[in-house]
Amino acid sequence: MLQQKQADAAVIGAGIVGLATAYHLALQGRKVVVFERTGRALGASVRNFGLVWTIGQKPGTVYERALYGRSIWKEIAAQTGLACAETGSLHLAYHADEQAVIEEFAQTANVHCHLLTPAEAAQKSSAFKQGGLKAALWSPMEMTVNPREASAVIAAWLEKAKGVTFRFGTAVNGIQMPHIETREEKWKVDQVFVCSGADFETLYPRHFSAAPITKCKLQMLRTVPQPHNWQLGPALSTGLSLIHYASFAHCKTLAPLRARIEKDFPQYVQYGIHLLVSQNGAGELSIGDSHEYAPSVDPFDKEEINQLILQYLPNFLQVPTLQIQERWHGVYPKLTNGETDLVLEPEKGVTIVNGLGGAGMTLSFGLARDIVAKL
Ligand SMILES: Cc1cc2nc3c(=O)[nH]c(=O)nc-3n(C[C@H](O)[C@H](O)[C@H](O)COP(=O)(O)OP(=O)(O)OC[C@H]3O[C@@H](n4cnc5c(N)ncnc54)[C@H](O)[C@@H]3O)c2cc1C
């Protein structure tokens, strides 16, 4: 006999999207239960750089959501002790075409950033090669959290401080509104939020297959802790990222840069490789990443991709050690229509929240705030 339980809202998935949704529901005083299939979150939310990457976001609503998310991460860090470093970021320009893009961006984008000369950039970080640097784009807004810790810390905090109930190791295989049945319990709820990340197959598969969404596989590397408490400082990024992030898309100077990268780095374009380096609280550097899009993800990692990432590093990075201790891949859902989120109502009382692509750590809190406000 299943135990009968009741809540105002159920959230399926304890990745960052589910946690952000549970947080905003709890703020409204709702009784929330979160179901997570695995014993702890193991999806994209623990496999990323941990960057709250405001500078890469589309201007307008999306950028505002990023700033809001930043403020919530700071609040959570203050409440929980989660390491959250306000590192800022540097986009390094070693070519005239890269310099042209960051100059245009600094002049035209309505975001917190400005250009630095090579000497000024050197004041911010000793982790990049100074020889050949033409200019850098400095943004003070980016932050780094440790993704391996963040989901578990937030879940524990939501449970303790906000009264959210968690059911880890509990897959939800079907929803019959107003009920959700698991192996041991039957919950009656008013609202369900499906935050199932890259699992499009279990819940509402027909809605996912009809949506403009695919999966993106990313390969990542992590170094051993840097010695002697060496600090990276700002997260580092290069010209390859300028053609990756939507925020730079309006720059007229992007076309020649893209053309050069396509000519000189065809394999990087083929595998969607751009270079980001962040450092977590343990002193390790997270380095990545590649982007391979397909509805079914290849389980086998390509060593060729790892080598391409490693080969590019000496172009800009100088750090005490690049000894790699871990390699892994993550998968996130990616919208194919250029949008930044997928919010569907497959049946009354059920909301699918998905499609945040490579910006879930940055945008989940803002998106969840807006969805919950509309209820
Ligand atoms: C390598 C990599 C680097 C990235 N870097 C950054 C970054 O630096 N900054 C940034 O902002 N974003 C980054 N991202 C993107 C970000 O990680 C994702 O957008 C975000 O984690 C997506 O969160 P999610 O909750 O939708 O998915 P997930 O974290 O995958 O969570 C979904 C959860 O739902 C659970 N679930 C699914 N179905 C069920 C079910 N039926 N029943 C119960 N549980 C279920 C799964 O077990 C899983 O835990 C990166 C992503 C990757 C892969």
The verdict on 225 and 260 lying in the same domain is yes
Specify whether 202 is located in the same domain as 297.
no
Examine the domain organization and report whether 301 and 351 are in the same domain.
no
CATH code: domain of residue 365: 3.50.50.60
Give the total number of structural domains in the chain. 2
277 contact partners, CB below 8 Å, separation of at least 6: 127, 232, 235, 236, 237, 285, 286, 287, 313, 317
Atom from ligand 1 closest to the CA of residue 288? 1
Can you give the pLDDT at residue 356? 98
> Two tokens at 74?
């700071």
Whether residue 80 is contained in a domain is answered as no
Query: For residue 27, how far is the Cα from the chain centroid?
Result: 23
Residue 174 CA to residue 181 CA, distance in Å, equals 7
Of the candidates 300, 280, 276, 279, which has an alpha carbon nearest to the alpha carbon of residue 290?
276
Residue at 57 is within a domain: no
Q: Which atom in ligand 1 lies closest to the alpha carbon of residue 198?
A: 30
Do 310 and 169 reside in the same domain of the chain? no
Ligand 1, pocket residues at CB < 6 Å: 12-18, 35-38, 41-45, 47-51, 53, 171-172, 195-199, 202-203, 218, 220, 288-289, 330, 332, 356, 358-362
Nearest to 92 by CA among 312, 284, 299, 327: 312
Mean pLDDT of 267-277: 97
Residues 273 and 289 in one domain: yes
Atom of ligand 1 nearest to the CA of 358: 15
Q: What is the pLDDT of residue 10?
A: 98
Q: Which residue has the tokens 């396509």?
A: 262
Specify the pLDDT at position 106. 96
Which protein residue has the closest C-alpha to ligand 1 atom 46? Answer: 13
What letter represents residue 265's amino acid? F
**Ligand 1 centroid to residue 319 C-alpha, Å:** 29
Pair (175, 291) in one structural domain: no
pTM here is: 0.97
The residue whose CA has the least distance to atom 21 of ligand 1 is 45
Q: Is residue 187 part of a domain?
A: yes
CA 111 from centre of chain = 19
Counting from 1 in the atom list of ligand 1, the atom nearest the Cα of 151 is 29
Query: Residue 222: inside a domain, yes or no?
Result: yes
Does residue 83 fall inside a structural domain? no
> Residues 98, 132: one domain?
yes
Q: Is residue 1 over pLDDT 90? A: no
- For atom 27 of ligand 1, the residue with the nearest CA is 197
- CATH number for the domain spanning 231: value is 3.30.9.10
- Claim to verify: residue 254 and residue 267 sit in the same structural domain: yes
Of 24, 37, 68, 185, the residue with max ligand 1 atoms within 8 A of its CB, to mutate for a pocket test, comes to 37
Distance 357 CA to ligand 1 centre (A): 9
More confident residue, 225 or 375: 225
Whether residue 213 is predicted with pLDDT greater than 90 in this model: the reply is yes
Best CA proximity match to 350, nearest among 9, 6, 26: 9
Q: Are 350 and 50 in contact (CB under 8 A)?
A: no
**Probe residue for ligand 1, chosen from 46, 286, 297, 332 as the CB with the greatest number of ligand atoms within 8 Å:** 332
* pLDDT confidence of residue 177: 98
For residue 326, give its domain range: 89-140+213-335
Whether residues 167 and 251 share a domain: the answer is: no
270 shares a domain with 251: yes
Identify whether 303 is part of a domain: yes
Q: Could you tell me what percent of the chain has a pLDDT over 90?
A: 97
Does any domain span residue 75?
no
Mean pLDDT of all residues in 235-244? 95
Asked whether residue 167 is domain-assigned, the answer is yes
pLDDT tens digits, one per residue of 290-305: 999 999 999 999 999 9
In this structure, are 277 and 184 located in the same domain? no
What mean pLDDT value characterizes the chain?
97
Average pLDDT over every residue of 149-156: 97
pLDDT of amino acid 259: 97
Residues 229 and 200 in one domain: no
* pLDDT exceeds 90 at position 2: no
